[in-house]
């Protein structure tokens, strides 16, 4: 009997360690481009208790829909110049402050019940970011961004919000 109880305790402890090292992911928002169907997904990572995973609260990766739908990591240039991001916990400890490498407007990342939210100002009002759409044309070395469109849902009213930015 003692062995069974000991085995049960060890199993529970190991399960807790596995959950801590293998966070659960939930979609936060994505970026689509006019170039092709490939999209960059941003997912929040959660601990087993539903809090943001402190070690790496958000991850970004390609979903290659124009190829075969597989997932692929961002390369170094994409992480540093275009689709990467910086993220830091807020001093309150209630959320994280995130900024994309190519676009410095702040995104507030937090949990709300069982959901994760990326909140930012869209069209002058706080909104939950759902999608970013980038229109660009090919350049000699790098593409030239013609416009960025932000899409989300108003935090207060639940209405759809959008904003078009022309650099």
Q: pLDDT tens digits for 32-46?
A: 999 999 999 999 999
Residue 9 phi, psi dihedral angles, 5° rounding: -65, -45
Q: What is the pLDDT of residues 89-124, one digit of tens each?
A: 999 989 999 999 888 899 999 999 999 999 999 999
Contact partners, residue 82, CB within 8 Å, separation at least 6: 101, 102
C-alpha 129/C-alpha 105 separation (Å) is: 12
Domain positions in the chain are 23-165
C-alpha 98/C-alpha 150 separation (Å) is: 16
Q: How confident is the model at residue 10 (pLDDT cuts 50, 70, 90)?
A: very low
Q: How confident is the model at residue 128 (pLDDT cuts 50, 70, 90)?
A: very high
Task: Record the pTM.
Answer: 0.84
Contact partners, residue 71, CB within 8 Å, separation at least 6: 61, 62, 63, 64
* pLDDT over threshold 50, residue 18: no
């Amino acid at each position: 009997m003692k062995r069974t109880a000991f085995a049960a305790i060890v199993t529970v402890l190991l399960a807790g360690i596995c959950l801590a090292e293998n966070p659960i992911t939930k979609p936060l928002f994505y970026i689509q481009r006019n170039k092709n169907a490939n999209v960059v997904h941003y997912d929040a990572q959660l601990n087993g208790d539903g809090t943001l995973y402190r070690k790496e609260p958000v991850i970004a990766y390609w979903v290659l829909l124009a190829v075969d739908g597989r997932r692929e990591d961002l390369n170094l240039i994409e992480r540093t110049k275009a689709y990467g991001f910086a993220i830091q916990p807020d001093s309150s400890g209630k959320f994280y402050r995130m900024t994309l490498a190519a676009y410095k407007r702040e995104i507030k990342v937090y949990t709300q019940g069982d959901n994760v939210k990326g909140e930012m100002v869209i069209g002058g009002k706080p909104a939950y970011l759902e999608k970013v759409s980038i229109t660009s044309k090919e350049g000699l070395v790098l593409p030239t961004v013609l416009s960025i469109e932000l899409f989300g849902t108003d935090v207060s009213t639940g209405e759809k919000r959008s904003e078009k930015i022309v650099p």
